[in-house]
Structure 1
Amino acid sequence: MGETCGVDETLRASGELIDELGRIGLRYGDAPPVVLPTRPDVVIVRAGSVVVKAHAPGAGREPLAARMRAVAGPELRGILLEPVTDEVMSAGDRLVTVWPAGTPVDPEDPDAAPWEAGARLLAGLHAVPAGALPPLPPAGGPARVGRTVARLASGPAASAAERVVRRAFDSLPGLPGLPGPTGPQSGPGLPYAAGERPAGPCSLAHGDWHLGQMVRVRGEWILIDADDLGVGDPAWDLARPAAWFAAGLLEPEVWHRFLAAYRAAGGCAVGAGGDPWERLDLPAQALTVQLAAAAVAAAGREGRELDEVEQVLIDSCQRIVRFRSACHSADTQ
């Protein structure tokens, strides 16, 4: 009975939250509110020309407010979607923001995926000096890896896949805000140490870029979701497609088109020429670990075995462990 009451309370709270988001949508929008599918920790309601987003539980008001001020200004216009209002509202214990509605990437039509448009938008974002914007927190990419891995079981309760993912995570050099094996580090090709802000124009990063972070508005593609926008290493914004390519899950032709478009647009994360993996290797490995951790957690929640793609990510984590072990052995000889 206790479990049933808990579920009922959760459903009641979700209904109350959706009702409040609907009321906000009616205030700014022009159609009856409809709940949109999204990830489990976020609730999004569309009301015609606007969407109302309830951010994940525990989101900080001040970091989100700083990010909203940044995207509401002229410096990111045409690159990152401008909100309907830069006000951060509340619905119960959730922070809420309001945005123009757009048309997302169609997951059923991979051939039409806007890889080049995404690359050009990221290059434009990375060219905006962070100093031209209101003060921003660190970009959220590196810290997200640790948070995702931390949700996995550890010790005797961990599954074989969970143990592989944790070994891969522990093999990576220490990252800002993550409990790496040797603590925070910095240096060529590595993310910046905790508390540091990279100098120069290449210091602004989206923090969680993938094709789901793009919509078409008035006929043009634009980036969305400022939840992880901040100061950091822009190479992390290329890390997800790099990780998929390295794992064999993204066609080489697509990856090379994406990278070529980014470089042609002046993208600074990997330079105009040379080996991009000098900058992408660690972020791509870290994103592989994050994706694998999320896949294992999802399979556990759904009570199923890993699917083929998820198993590929676990196999990639095993290769990361072998690679990092070989690097460590070479360094100590």
Structure 2
Amino acid sequence: MGTSLTYRLTALGRDMGGDGPAVVLADRSDGTVVRVGPVVSKAHAPDSDTSALVTRLRTAAHPRLGGILLPPLYEGRLLDAEGRPASLWPLGLPVAPDEPDAAPWEETAALLARLHSVPTAGLPGPLPSMRGPAKVARAAARLRAVAPTPAGETVLRACSGLPPWARGEAAPPRADTLCHGDLHLGQLVRYPVPGGPWLLIDVDDLGLGDPAWDLARPAAWYAAGLLAPDVWQRFLTAYRAYGGRAVRPDGDPWPELDIPARALTVQSAALALVRAAAERRAPDEVEEALTDACARIVRLPSDVAPDRTP
């Protein structure tokens, strides 16, 4: 991260009352995040659609999203950080990565069910589309840009077999629900700290779409053998218990989840191979599991879901 961007994000945090040393929490091309005491400053991607981003921030600040999304400071106003759109947030406590058994799967499911039930009429608008499928396309493009490998070709074949909407090339068949768009455990914090309730963070992909997309990453991990069957069942059962609309209330959820789960498998595998190539190493065990899942997708007819019975 450039020093000038660090200084600017630090200054924004201090202007909002942050104190203490600046700590870089994330430094990626799509987002740089700096903490200054109780204030978090985020520089969004340079190519962000600022109009859509303002709507997303204002939506997160709307009373209907209270207790679901972490509200931004400044009620959704965008600031400038070295030419990049920036936003300010209160500090929350993230999920502890070294305590997998304490991961709040049921709480996550409840938040998603509540998010998917929020009436969209009267929210700040026009609400943009949920950006999940666009991120699949971006991940595939990044994989095509690295030296080809058999594993990479397998992932790209799995991507080409997805319906056009699932790789960002057409409108989705369902786009009537407010969705997070990039759900994983890194998108939750406790606020206020300590001891506050769990809330969803990161609204860069928030928008109207198919709510099944928000369940797709846990579903993909389960299908790839990376999420224990009992954890998946806890998550799915809690989502249904809180009235989640993404899947039918009982029975087989895979008619709704299959395509989004395949898409998230492709995205995760593509990014994993890009990361391995950048680090000049062979894929690790998790990355190989994702690639193997893409190989199964390639072999599977597009209209048949694999047996995922625990």
Do the two structures share a fold, i.e. TM-score over 0.5?
Answer: yes
Residues 34 and 45, structure 1, Cα contact 8 Å, conserved in 2 = yes
Deviation at 1:59, TM superposition (A): 1.1
Offset of 1:43 from its aligned partner? Answer: 1.2
Q: In 1, Cα distance between the equivalents of 2:216 and 2:234?
A: 15
Q: Specify the alignment match of 1:205 in structure 2.
A: 179
Alignment match, 2:224: 247
Match of 2:281 in 1: 304
Answering whether residue 82 of structure 2 is matched by residue 105 of structure 1, we say no
1:123 alignment partner, one of 113, 129, 132? 113
Residue 134 of structure 1, CA deviation:
1.4
Q: How does 1:92-241 map to 2 (within 5 A)?
A: 92-135=82-125, 136-153=127-144, 157-175=147-165, 178-179=168-169, 184=170, 191-192=172-173, 197-198=175-176, 203-218=177-192, 219-241=196-218
Structure ranking higher in helix proportion: 1
| Cα distance, 1:177–1:258 mapped onto 2, change above 3 Å | closer
Task: Give the counterpart of 2:32 among 29, 38, 43.
Answer: 43
8 A Cα contact 1:153 1:159, kept in partner: no
Give the Cα separation in 2 of the matches to 1:77 and 1:154: 41
Change (3 A) 1:106 1:210: same
Pairwise CA RMSD:
1.7
Report the equivalent of 1:288: 265
Q: Is the 8 A contact 2:166 2:259 kept in 1?
A: no
Rounded Cα–Cα distance in structure 1 between residues aligned with 2:27 and 2:250: 37
Aligned length: 298
The Cα shift of 1:326 comes to 8.1
Q: Provide the residue aligned with 2:68 in structure 1.
A: 79
Task: Name structure 2 gaps, 5 residues minimum.
Answer: 305-310
User: 1:56-85 CA distances to partner (integer Å, 9 max, x unpaired)?
Assistant: 221111110011111111010110011111
Q: Who is 2:301 aligned against?
A: 324
Report SS of the residue matched to 1:97: strand
**What are the residue-to-residue correspondences of 1:59-78 with 2, within 5 Å?**
59-78=48-67
Q: Is the 8 A contact 1:120 1:265 kept in 2?
A: yes
In structure 1, give the amino acid aligned to 2:115. Answer: L
**CA distance in 2 between partners of 1:151 and 1:205 (Å):** 25
Runs of 5+ consecutive residues of structure 1 not aligned to the other structure: 1-10, 186-190, 328-333
Alignment CA distance shift 1:163-1:79 (3 Å): same
Cα distance, 1:233–1:254 mapped onto 2, change above 3 Å? same
> Cα 1:16–1:58, aligned 2, differ >3 Å: closer, same or farther?
same
Cα distance change on mapping 1:246 and 1:20 into 2, 3 Å? same
Equivalent pair of 2:166/2:263 in contact (CA under 8 Å):
no
Which protein is bigger by CA-based radius of gyration? 1
Amino acid at match of 1:216: R
Deviations 1:62-112 (A, max 9, x none): 110011111111010110011111110111221100001010000000000
- Aligned residues of 2:136 and 2:167 also touching (Cα < 8 A): no
CA distance in 1, matches of 2:24, 2:115: 27
1:8 counterpart residue number = none
Match of 1:138, as an amino acid? S
- AA aligned opposite 2:64: E
Amino acid at match of 1:169: C
Give, as a single letter, the amino acid of the residue that structure 2 aligns with 1:76. Answer: L
Residue in structure 2 matched with residue 29 of structure 1 by the alignment: 17
- 1:305 maps to a residue whose letter is A
Identical pairs, percent: 51
2:68 match: secondary structure? coil
